[in-house]
Every structure is written in C-alpha cells, then in structure tokens.
Structure 1
Amino acid sequence: MNNKVYIQRLSTGVPGLDELLGGGIPEYSFNLLAGTPGSGKTTLAHQIMFSLAGPERRALFFTVLGEPPLKMLRYQQQFPFFDLAKLNQSVKFVNLAADLLEGDFERVLTRIADEVRDFAPSLVFVDSFRSVAQSARAMEQGGAGLQNFVQRLGMQMTSWLATTFLIGEYLAPEAESSPVFTVADGIIWMSQLIQRDTLLRKIQVVKMRGQAQSLGVHTFRICDTGVEIFPRAMIQEAAAATIASNVRLSMGVPELDTMLGGGLPAGYSMLLVGPSGSGKSVLATQFLSEGVRAGEAGVVAAFEKSPNQLLSRQLDVLIESGRVGVINTRTLDLSIDAVLADLVALIRQLDAKRVVIDSLSGFELALASSSRDDFRQSLYRMVAVLTAMGVTVLMTAELEDRYDQLSFSSYGNAFLADSIVMQRYVELDGQFKRVLSVVKVRASEHSKDICLYDIGNAGIEIGPVLSQFQGILTGRPGAPAA
C-alpha cells in the first residue's frame, strides 16, 4: 500500500522558473523571494500571482512598504501579465504599513489572519518582509519575537491551505534573517551586479523542499513582458562517437569534402580557424547553402558581425524563405545562457540541422567580463547541448597568423571540436597565398595535405597541394623542400 502524500506543483507562468524549481511551486508551501534591491523580486511575485490567480484560486497581496500600493501598481500595470479585471475579484491588495508602525507583531498577525479569513485566498504575498525584520530590532521582542512571528505565520498559512511568498531585500543571508531562512520551504535568491559596463541579473533556487531543483546560478532578464529566466544548460551523457558512411554532410566545396574523408560527419562540431580575410565566413555561408540545397534548414549566431555583414546575397533569399534563421547576439549584456536559449528555440522552430557560430572571437568578447575558465565552460556547454540535439555545428575563430608558431584556438579550446580546418597565409613568389588543411576529424581518416585555395565568385575554390610549389619556396625549381 502506497501512503505517500501527493504534493501538487503550481506552474508559475514565468518562463524558465518551473524548470529551476523542479516542476513548479509546491502547493501550500512557505516561500521566500529574497535578494538585492532592484533585482526584480516584486515583479517576479506579481507575475507569479497574476498567472496563478483566478476565481478558484484567489490571491492576497500584503504591502508593508511606506509607499501606497497604488504607486507600486502604477508601474506593474505596464507589464502584460497584469490583469486589471482580476483586481478585487481574484486579487486583493492590503497595506499593513499602519499596523507595523504600531510596533506590535501580534496586531500585524491578527490583521493578516482577519484578511485571510475574509478573502479566503489560496495565495498570500507579503512585500517587503524585510520591513518586518527591521522593525523587530526596534521592538522589545527583537529577534525572538520575529522568529515566533514567522513560525506562527507559516503554521497559520499552512493550516489555511495557502501557498505563501515572503518578499524581502537582503544584501546577503544575514543573521537577522535566519528565522525566515530556517522556516521557509523554498528560497529563491535574486541579484544584480555590474561587471565592467554590463548589468547581469542572476537567480538561484537556494532551497525547495521535497523536489529536486536545478542547482547553480542562472541568468534572467526583465523585459517588456516581465521576468524571463534562462536556466543553465545541463550537459546530457552522450554515447561514444560513431560514424556511419552514409551520414556525412557536404561542406559545399567538393574538394574539401574529399579532404575530410567524405564530408563532415553529422552531429559533429567543426572549428574553422584562420586570420582576418581568409574566408571563414565565406566557407560558413557555403556550408549553410549546401544544407538548404539538401533540404536541411540552418541557423546563424552572429557574435561578431551583424547579420547583414555576415551573410551574402546568396543567403538573403534563403532567409526570406525561412530556410535559414539568424540570431543577432551583438548585445553584450546578454549572457550566453540567454543566447543559447534563443538559439535552441530557433533550431527547434526550423528543425535546423546545421548551425554556424561566427565567431568565437566575438563570443569571447561577449564574455569580456568573465574569466578564461568561464569562457571555456560556456563554450563547452554550448557545443555539447547543440551536438546532443543532433545538430552539426561550424564555429569560426580568428587567429593572428604567426609564422613562427602554430596554434588552433585561443585558450586551448581546440579539444572541444570534433573536426578542425585551418586557413593560413603563405608567401609564394612575392605574393600572399591562402592555404587550407584539415587538422583533425575525430574517429575518421582525412587528408594530411596542405592545399592552396582562393575565393572567387562561387566561394571557396581549392587548388593544388602546396608541395607542388616547393621549388618556388626554395627558389630552385624542382628542388626538394628544405
């Protein structure tokens, strides 16, 4: 016989939040929305409340701020989730400022109890609960009185079958807040910080009893529609790389397909590196164009250049037809989690099979306020998530062409790619020539040749192997290489 108690999870209506919580807010739970001033706590609370409130689930919102509720509502009404028709029907606001000024926790608790009894809500919000905590220090009850108040409030709300949210401003988990943190069933921490010239908003589910929440710190933003959360992508365990001879994708350059051993294996990630002007974006364009010709939609994430600069006229028609989607990621205050979420959404919308990230240099710039380890970790997660979806990824990276050393990526990121194609410049007969080579294709044979190539009207055109020009390199026609 199964005697386990079933706890219903309420969908918050906030994009990304249910995923962080482990499926939603547990019904009848006692929760704390805490964080720094201006981090979006009240907006998040209103978004949850208006999403859940209705004739069968009414909400009561207590304010203990010095400012009247009308001032707060004036700004919250700008968001589309705010439903004026629900006011005083499914949603009621009550100001407790006068009761709190009397300095009597018992009176505040009695007022809350009376309002709850009269309105019979299923959802109760108290904003800002820190005002109560600060008042406790000026009262004779002090911290002991606050702890008693919190415990009694939590027990009463649970007995009234209400899901409760306490909203409070905290710079850090302070000693005075420990009673709240101890009693709460769930704790959601929100913060915002400045890194160089970028404002970053972060959210963390510190605690959620009875269910497995998503660990770690996640990015969110407050946009015209309200709070939008971007959960950090979790890397799924993948099977060992295998290649079927009939699952190779053409790069749009037949000679390069031959050098790769028959094309790029589907589901692989390719790193295309080279100096400025070597034709990385041109080859990326041919890769997408070939996919469209084969019936495969594509997506471009432009980290460095605008979409108009990145794409040739050849792809303009494809974009207009909807076969290639473009994400402009040049806004530097967006986190990589936000970019990845938009990228995954567009891939699913188009059922895209090919993705171009141009370029990792721009990607690194977008994370300029982060450390090198953050860059490597973000890149690793992005590639792992995309390839786990069965998407084939081509990433471009600009490297300074130094003739005295050979490197494949900044910060040693070459190991993240399944395949590497390098473009370089060489000096032949008093001219700079472009050369291309396949450095690696994981679990596959590939050409070891270094081939000359040029960029013509049709795109990348690969020429003969560089060894045929050894005589020119040494200054003696037909002579072997030094």
Structure 2
Amino acid sequence: MIDKVKIQRLPTGVPGLDELLGGGIPEYSFNLLAGTPGSGKTTMAHQMMFSLAGPDRRALFFTVLGEPPLKMLRYQQQFPFFDISKVNQSIKFVNLAADLLDGDFDRVLARIADEVRDFSPSLVFVDSFRSVVQSAQGMDRGAAGLQHFVQQLGMQMTSWLATTFLIGEYLAPEAESSPVFTVADGIIWMSQLVHRDALVRKIQVVKMRGQAQSLGVHTFRISDSGVEIFPRAVLRAAVTEVSIAGHQRLSMGVPELDRMMGGGVPAGYSLLLVGPSGSGKSVLATQFLAEGVSKGEAGVIAAFEKSPNQLLSHHLNELIENGHVGVINTRTLDLSIDEILHDLVAMIERMQAKRVVIDSLSGFELALAPSFRDDFRESLYRMVAVLTAMGVTVLMTAELEDRYEMLRFSSYGNAFLADAIIMQRYVELEGQLKRVISVIKVRASDHSKEIRFFDITAAGLVVGEPATQYAGMLTGRPVAAAAPASAPD
C-alpha cells in the first residue's frame, strides 16, 4: 500500500487565521487572497510573509499596477511585524508594472519565472492580481489568455516548490467567473461593511483543499499590531464533554442567599442577576468574586458600564490590583461577541479563573457594533455555552425597568440562557422604597420561594427578614396598609 502524501501546514503568524484554515496554509499551495478595497488584504499578506520568511524560506513580493513598493513599504513598516533586516535578504520586492503595460502575458510570466529562478523563493506574492485581470479584458487574447497565464503560473510555482498568494480586489466571490477561482487551492475572502456609523471587517475561508477549514464568516480587526482574527464561538464536541457537578456549590458571599439557593450556585452554571438601577446588582457581583478569591479562586470581570478605575468599590479595585481578578477592557465600541469571547477565554485560561462576571448585558449590547446587535441573543447563547462548558461559573447582570405594575424575570427575553435567576426589586412601604430579593430558579435544584428584604451596608449585601406578611408585595403594587410598628430595613 502506498503511503499518503503528508502536506505540511505553515503557520501564518496572523492571530486566529490558522484556526480558520484548519491548522495553517498548506505548503506549495496556490492561494487567492481576495476582497473589497481597503479590507486589509495587503496588510495580512505582509504579516504572513514577514512571519514565514527567513534564511531557509525566502519570499518574493511582486507588485503589478497597485501601489509602488516604496509607498507600500512606507506604511507597512509602521506595524511591529515588519522586519527591515529581512528586506533584500530573505524578502525581495519586484515591480511588474512596466512588463504588464505592454499587454504581454508571456513577458510577465517570463519575468516572474526569471525572478523566481534567481531568488529561489519558498513564498511568492502577487499584488494586485486584479490588475492582471483588468488588463486581460482589454486585450485581444482576453479571458483565454488570462486562463492560460493563471494555469501556467500555478503549474510553475508548484514545480518550483513555492507557496503562492495572489492578492486581488473583487466585489463578491460568487459573482466572479475568473479562472483563478477554479485553479486556486485556497480562497480567503476579506470584506468591510459600514453599518450606520460603525465599520465592521469580516473574513471567510471560501475554499481550502485537503483540510477542514472553519465554516462561516468571522470578524477581524486591524490594530497597531496588524490583523487579528476572532473566530466565531463554536461549542466543540471535545468541550461539551465537560460535566457540571451538581453537588459542587459556589458561595455567593452572602450566607443567607446561599441558603435560599439550596447551598449556593452550582459550579459551571450561568446565573442571571436582574433588577432595576441601584438595586445592588454590581455589589452582589463584587461579593461573588471576592468570595471566590477568599477560597483561592481567581475571577474575571467584563464591566461594560464602568471603566477599570471606576469599578464600584475599593474592595474590588484592590482585588484587581493584587492580580486576583482580571478585567476585560470593554471601553472600545463596535466590538463583536467573538472578539469579547476571545479576550475572556484567553484571560480565563491565563488566570485559571473559576468565576466570571458580565456587568451588564445592556451595556454589553451597546458595546457591540450595530450590525451584531440583531443577533445578540443568538451570539450571547453561544458565548455562555462556551464559557460554562469550560467549567466556569458565569454571573450576568441585567437591568429591568422600574415598573410596579409589571413583574418580569429578565430583559431581552434572556431568561432561557440562565441556569439560575436571582431577582432584586424595589417595593414601597409607608412612603419608603425597600429592596427585596428572591430566587426565581436554580435548575435541577430545590431553592427557597421566599421574598426577603435586604440592605446594602459597608460590609456588602445583607439579606434580612421574609416579606411574606405584606399583602400585595408579590404583584409589586404600592403597600400602605397594616404594616407593623417597625418595618424591617
């Protein structure tokens, strides 16, 4: 039996891209890096080239009718991946503009062949290949000549053991009939979309022969460090094998509330804490994290309504400064769920955190780019599923409107996401607003059905007496009748 040919996969050096490709770029493959103008194709090509190029793997970068090499390099060298010591050593730039102006594909192919033969590269980039296509449309040989050129180029690069990238501007992958789409072993599509006042960049692996790529459209960002891709959150089969030990409970940091929940929140659960503004949701979330730290469990907080230096209390800030609680930077707007989840998972794994707080879901939604808000519930479901499958216990806060005439258990219809729900409310007694708390559900566990008064003190949230003696409290109607001489605080 003949052994299978093993294809080496080259790491691209672009964060998140290898995961999309199924492990990296197949060596000696013929790839098309395409997309809309300004979507970051050239930047990602340079990021891959500088990451892969070295003394034993040299790279040739051909420019056609796009930017002149000097202008292109002026901007690309602003990124940290740019290594000037590799230019003219392991990386060489060649301008083919003069060769293509004559309209002779054979001459262009011969020039490429000469450069490849002289430099012996392992990587070849042609930018912008779209210029070749546009030139073909105005020539007598037209599409037939272009197809011959593409086939010859692909055959020669493969015979020279070169991994090739053709970079070009296209409007949509399915709208093009260019022969390069058929000949290419891999097609990576990049685009940018303006939705309202936000710019969202997306990437898709349309085709990658010989390996299973990640399906769907993913978001990416071009920062001062270059291109970073955030693969869509997908619950993998291996992750779903993590089981939730129902007998293991985590304390909320409030002993009486733990008793109401049947011994605390089960480890690996998602807990939704709902209530109106000022009812103490963030205070309880802080106690939840602090209780974990007291037992040697690191925590992570994504605070969407406050900057890191405004985080609620001196106690929480102290936990953060001491490195017991990590903070996700959420001050940048126009994020995607996958970008936030990427940062959360990275910090959870780095800190070995067991508790995560998302404060709050309404602030979370506002931090997203407008184009992601339509799928907020679906994306949030995927995020919670991934985090809880890691064995992390997630506490999410959500604000409810202050309405006496309406009793709701969650905002945005998100109650289905939670394994447990705690509700905080205001009630009116003898001209004063009092706070009450109740446990709405704890999945697969018995819990108290009581409504209890609570106060927020210097020590945190303290649960007091039951409120069952007050008629009308369950409906949220103002109560002024038959109150005892001293109502609980």
Residue 336 of structure 2 contacts residue 369 of structure 2 at CA under 8 Å; is this kept in 1? no
Unmatched runs of 5 consecutive residues or more in structure 2: 474-478, 485-489
Secondary structure, counterpart of 2:397 in structure 1: strand
User: 406-415 or 14-23: which moved more?
Assistant: 406-415
Question: Once the two structures are superposed, what CA deviation does each residue of 1:12-61 show, in whole Å capped at 9, x if it has no partner?
Answer: 11111100000000000000000011111011001111111111111111
Task: Give the aligned residue type for 1:469.
Answer: Y
Identity %, equivalent residues: 79
Tell me if structure 2 keeps the 8 A contact 1:298–1:325. Answer: yes
Q: Which residue of 2 aligns with 1:107?
A: 107
Report the Cα distance in structure 1 between the residues aligned to 2:329 and 2:152, rounded to whole angstroms: 51
Change (3 A) 1:242 1:117: closer
Task: Name the amino acid aligned to 1:417.
Answer: A
The normalised TM-score by structure 2 is 0.94
In the alignment, structure 1 residue 131 sits paired with structure 2 residue 137: no
In structure 1, distance between residues paired with 2:137 and 2:340: 45
Partner of 2:394: 393
C-alpha distance in structure 1 between counterparts of 2:79 and 2:171, whole Å = 26
Instruction: Give 1:2 deviation, angstroms.
Output: 4.7
| CA distance in structure 2 between the partners assigned to 1:314 and 1:213 by the alignment | 46
Q: Which residue of 2 aligns with 1:288?
A: 289
Aligned to 2:215: 215
Shift of 1:372: 5.7
Alpha-carbon distance, 1:330 to partner: 2.3
Separation in 2 of the partners of 1:293 and 1:158? Answer: 60
Alignment of 1:298-377 (within 5 A): 298-367=299-368, 369-370=370-371, 373-377=374-378
Partner of 1:5: 5
**Aligned equivalents of 2:428 and 2:143: distance in 1?**
77
Task: Indicate the SS of the match to 1:235.
Answer: coil
C-alpha separation between the residues in 1 aligned to 2:355 and 2:455?
A: 24
User: For residue 72 of structure 1, what is the aligned residue in structure 2?
Assistant: 72
Q: Does 1:190 align with 2:196?
A: no
Q: 1:413 to 1:52 in 2, by over 3 A?
A: same
Superposition map of 1:168-179 within 5 A: 168-173=168-173, 177-179=177-179
Distance 1:299 1:128 in 2: 44
Which residue is equivalent to 2:91? 91
Residue identity matched to 1:19 = E
Partner of residue 156, structure 1: 156
Which residue is equivalent to 2:481? 475
Larger mean Cα displacement after TM superposition, 77-86 or 372-381: 372-381
Distance in 1 of aligned mates of 2:372 and 2:82: 39
Structure 1: which amino acid aligns with 2:333?
L
- Shift of the alpha carbon at 1:96? 0.2
For the Cα contact (< 8 Å) 1:15–1:227, is it kept in 2? yes
Shift of 1:128: 0.2
Query: One-letter code of the match for 1:318?
Result: L
- Per mean C-alpha deviation after superposition, the further-off stretch among 299-308 and 205-214 is 299-308
Paired residue secondary structure (2:328)? strand
1:453 matched to 2:459? The reply is no
Q: Distance in 2 between matches of 1:80 and 1:444?
A: 53
Q: State the alpha-carbon separation in 1 of the partners of residues 396 and 176 from structure 2.
A: 50
Alignment-derived partner of residue 476 in structure 2 = none
User: What root-mean-square deviation, in Å, do the aligned CA atoms of Structure 1 and Structure 2 show?
Assistant: 1.7
Which AA in structure 2 matches 1:41? K
Residue 157 of structure 1 and its aligned partner are, at CA, apart by: 0.7
> Aligned equivalents of 1:415 and 1:64: distance in 2?
55
Distance (Å, rounded) in 2 between the aligned partners of 1:202 and 1:368: 13
Whether 1:426 aligns to 2:427 is yes
Residue of structure 2 in register with 1:462 after alignment: 463
CA separation of 1:471 and 1:39: change in aligned 2, threshold 3 A: closer
Report the residue type matching 2:15 in the other structure: P
CA contact (8 A) 2:66 2:127 kept: no
Deviation for aligned residue 1:11: 0.6
1:174/1:441 CA distance change after superposition, 3 Å: closer
Q: For the structure 1 residues 240 and 20, does the alpha-carbon distance in structure 2 shift closer, same or farther, using more than 3 Å as the test?
A: closer
- Sort the Cα spacing of 1:368 and 1:231 in 2 relative to 1 into closer, same or farther, 3 A: closer
Identify if the C-alpha distance between structure 1 residues 30 and 430 changes in structure 2 by more than 3 Å, giving closer, same or farther. same
Rounded Cα–Cα distance in structure 2 between residues aligned with 1:459 and 1:195: 43
> Following superposition of structure 1 onto structure 2, how do residues 25-44 of structure 1 map, counting pairs within 5 Å?
25-44=25-44
Secondary structure in structure 2 of the residue aligned to 1:328: coil
1:83 maps to a residue whose letter is: D
SS of the equivalent of 2:166 reads strand
Counterpart secondary structure, 1:32? strand
Q: Could you list the per-position Cα deviations for residues 250-288 of structure 1 after superposition, in whole angstroms to 9, with x for gaps in the alignment?
A: 101001000000001111110000000100000000101
Q: How many Å separate the matches in 2 of 1:151 and 1:129? A: 14
Residue 93 of structure 1 and its aligned partner are, at CA, apart by: 0.6
User: Is the Cα–Cα contact under 8 Å of residues 430 and 480 in structure 2 kept in the other structure?
Assistant: no
Q: Secondary structure at the match of 2:346?
A: helix
Indicate the SS of the match to 1:410: coil
Given that 1:270 and 1:394 are in contact with CA atoms closer than 8 Å, whether structure 2 keeps it comes out as yes
Contact kept? 1:281, 1:310, Cα under 8 Å = no
Say if 2:334 and 2:370, in contact at 8 Å, map to a contact too: no
Higher deviation after alignment, 368-377 or 328-337: 368-377
Which residue of 2 is the match for residue 22 of structure 1?
Answer: 22
For 2:66 and 2:360, the matched residues in 1 are separated by 50
* Equivalence for 1:233: 233
Check the 8 A contact 2:268/2:388 in 1, yes or no: yes
What's the CA shift for 1:66? 4.9
CA deviation profile, 1:385-439 (whole Å, cap 9, x unmatched):
1111111110000010322222222331101111000011111122111111100
Q: Match for 1:475: what amino acid? A: A
**Distance in structure 2 (CA, Å) of the matches to 1:240 and 1:430:** 51
Whole-angstrom distance in 1 between the partners of 2:472 and 2:162: 85
Which residue identity is paired with 2:223? C
Counterpart of 1:161 in structure 2: which amino acid? Answer: L
List aligned pairs for 1:268-283, cutoff 5 A.
268-283=269-284
* Corresponding residue for residue 120 of structure 1: 120
Gap change, CA 1:241 and 1:444, over 3 Å in 2: farther
Per mean C-alpha deviation after superposition, the further-off stretch among 449-458 and 364-373 is 364-373
Distance 2:369 2:97 in 1: 44
Distance 1:64 1:104 in 2: 13
Deviations 1:316-337 (A, max 9, x none): 2211111011112121122221
CA contact (8 A) 1:59 1:91 kept: yes
Q: Report the Cα distance in structure 1 between the residues aligned to 2:286 and 2:129, rounded to whole angstroms.
A: 55
Following the alignment from structure 2 to structure 1, what is the Cα–Cα distance between the partners of residues 434 and 2? 75
Alignment-mate amino acid for residue 267 of structure 2: A
Tell which deviates more after alignment, 367-376 or 121-130: 367-376
Instruction: Using the TM superposition, give the Cα deviation of residue 62 of structure 1 relative to its aligned residue in structure 2, in angstroms.
Output: 0.4
Deviations 1:86-128 (A, max 9, x none): 1111111110000000011111111111111111111100000
Give the structure-1-normalised TM-score.
0.96
- Return the offset for 1:196: 1.6
What amino acid is aligned across from residue 402 of structure 2 in structure 1?
Answer: D
Q: Shift of residue 304 of structure 1?
A: 1.9
